[in-house]
Amino acid sequence: MKPPVARAASAAALLVAFAASGGCVERKMIIRSDPPGAAITLDGVDTELVTPAEIPFDFGGTRAVTLIAPGKRVLETTAKLEDPWFTYFPLDIGAEFLWPGTILDVQTFDYALESYQPVDPSMKSELKKRLDEVKLRAAQYRAGGAEGPGAAPQRPAEQPTDAPAENAPKK
């Protein structure tokens, strides 16, 4: 019969070997776009990836997704990453340590990017007018300095020459 210390050491070694042989959970989100090749920003951080892309993640929740492609409108949206059944306690212990294989959690998000619309020729004059108005307001703000438009110092109005000045010396 083994001494109690040897039995405890054997049990600990067996437990460590059992835990090490356990499975793992691989979670990833796949982001695809139509057309492909859009740059991906997640939660305001540039991922330096383009669609389609596989991005690993650890926790569920809502992620802010921005897709940018030449000739397309910038798409700012969200991706809701769902937590599957094996991420809840106590099932997560079995999935992480006891399951002999790999559990995959793959969540796919498909986005369609819109093209810029060409300018309608009948709208060109209206757009030109609006642009001129914006330029005029910008010039007014610049002229007003830090005080804003119309705040440029104004000269005092000149007094008529035939009216006596208020502070003129009396005779």
**Tens-place pLDDT, residues 24-41:** 778 899 999 999 999 999
Integer-rounded Cα radius of gyration of the chain: 35
Residue 35 counted as domain residue: yes
Burial of residue 48 (number of CB atoms within 10 Å: 0-12, 13-18, 19+): exposed
Tell me the pairing of strands 102-112 and 53-56.
Answer: unpaired
Domain holding 77, by residue range, is 21-112
Helix (H, G, I), strand (E, B) or coil at 147: helix
Alpha-carbon gap, residue 142 to 167, rounded angstroms: 37
Residue 86 counted as domain residue: yes
Residue 159 counted as domain residue: no
DSSP state letter for 35: S
Give the CATH number for residue 63. Answer: 2.60.40
Model-level pTM? 0.53
Tell me the pairing of strands 45-50 and 39-42.
Answer: antiparallel
37 phi/psi in degrees, rounded to 5:
100, 10
More confident residue, 91 or 44: 44
pLDDT at 164: 56
How many structural domains are present in the chain?
1
Residue 129 counted as domain residue: no
- Mean pLDDT estimate for the chain: 78
Residue 45 counted as domain residue: yes
DSSP 54-77: EEE-SS-EEEEEEEE-TTB--EEE
Nearest to 33 by CA among 87, 71, 84, 81: 71
Structural contact between residues 58 and 27, judged by C-beta atoms closer than 8 angstroms:
yes
Lowest mean pLDDT among 138-142, 145-149, 165-169: 165-169
Residue 104 counted as domain residue: yes
Provide the pLDDT confidence category of residue 16 given band limits of 50, 70 and 90.
low
pLDDT, mean of residues 87-108: 69
Residue 144 counted as domain residue: no
Cα 154 to chain centroid distance, Å, stands at: 47
Alpha-carbon gap, residue 63 to 67, rounded angstroms: 13
* Side chain identity at residue 46, one-letter code: D
Question: N- to C-terminal Cα distance for the chain?
Answer: 133
Residue 131 counted as domain residue: no
Helices within 122-166 (DSSP H only):
124-144
